Amino acid sequence: MKKITLLFSLLFWFTHVNAYEKPSVEVVAENLNGDAYYIPGLSGAATEYEGFISNAGFVITTEGVVVFDSLGTPSLANAMLKEIRKITDKPIKLVIASHYHADHIYGLQVFKEQGAKIWAPKGTWDYLDSEAAPNLLNARRISLYPWVDNKTYLVEPDRIIDQDTPFALGEHQFLLTYFGKVHSEGDMSLLSINDQTLYSGDIIFEGRIPFVGDADIIKWSKTLDRVRNIEMEYFVPGHGMASDQPQETMDLTYRYLNFLIEQLSLAVDDMTPFDEAYAAIDWLEFEDEPAFEAANRKNAYAVYLYLERVMD
């Protein structure tokens, strides 16, 4: 009888440990300051580099680990977990999801299976209840196979954050700043106060043109005014390199969004048709930035339609 139990537990251990295939991209944790770390993703489109195109972070406290975002596949999250385990064997207590977009949440299940609680911004249920959520997961099961497959599932949050929320774990103090519907249906950032490190999520893209999509661009621009006033020394954007120069890291997204608003407001105000307006704008300041070709026209069009709605 004992032998059978042992066999089963070995089998359980074996299947569990091997549940997530090892990615071939290198997932490495970098220490930023004190107990704050981040995992720098590569810069690319959603399905490039096995989905490793967004950043994640974690803070180690005496009581356990606070994780910020979970990368774009369970395999990547599992590789991140291994990086955390090189530094600490403390339990993963909490995962803060900056927003519910595929490239930041498909790794959640790995931490959930470790017993972590998931906190997500208000708006998350709008995404989870939409048709877009299962449709995109099904599409990614093909485009990101085998990293996203039939065992990949959407994890529901344990707690919804709908206002600025301070909390503590161990000796560490944290502040969640809730932004509302900005870049997605709901966005928030995490400030590790002891480490003076801000994890911003996708309200900041460093080193590339951001994806505007269905964002509320005016609210986004106002949010950046707010974030630029948070006191911090280290800054981790949703995409791109972290730095100890927060204002510089925020600069491209800030300039770009305000440029779009300024230029396209004029066009909408004059009732200039989009194609004509787009051709007349001097994009020189941004056209050498990565992802310009892929994103700029789509962004400009989305902003044009948005401004038409709100300027009526």
Contact residues: Zn ion, CB under 5 A: 54, 103, 202, 238
Q: Which is nearer to Zn ion, 200 or 263 (CB)?
A: 200
Q: Which is nearer to Zn ion, 46 or 281 (CB)?
A: 46
State phi, psi for 305 to the nearest 5 degrees: -65, -40
Is the Cβ–Cβ distance between 202 and 98 less than 8 Å?
Answer: yes
Is the Cβ–Cβ distance between 152 and 19 less than 8 Å?
Answer: no
Prior bond of 23 cis (ω within 30°): no
Q: Which is nearer to Zn ion, 35 or 206 (CB)?
A: 206
We find the least distance from the C-beta atom of residue 238 to Zn ion, in angstroms, to be 5
We find the least distance from the C-beta atom of residue 101 to Zn ion, in angstroms, to be 5
Q: Which is nearer to Zn ion, 43 or 61 (CB)?
A: 43
Rounded to a whole number of angstroms, the CA Rg of the chain reads: 20
Q: Which residues contact 164 (CB under 8 A, 6 or more apart)?
A: 175, 176, 177, 178
Q: Which is nearer to Zn ion, 93 or 104 (CB)?
A: 104
Rounded to whole angstroms, how far apart are CA atoms 191 and 173? 9
We find the least distance from the C-beta atom of residue 220 to Zn ion, in angstroms, to be 14
We find the least distance from the C-beta atom of residue 104 to Zn ion, in angstroms, to be 6
We find the least distance from the C-beta atom of residue 45 to Zn ion, in angstroms, to be 11
We find the least distance from the C-beta atom of residue 7 to Zn ion, in angstroms, to be 43
Q: Which is nearer to Zn ion, 212 or 277 (CB)?
A: 212
We find the least distance from the C-beta atom of residue 11 to Zn ion, in angstroms, to be 37
Cα dist from 136 to 126, 153, 201, whole Å: 15, 11, 20
Q: Which is nearer to Zn ion, 64 or 72 (CB)?
A: 72
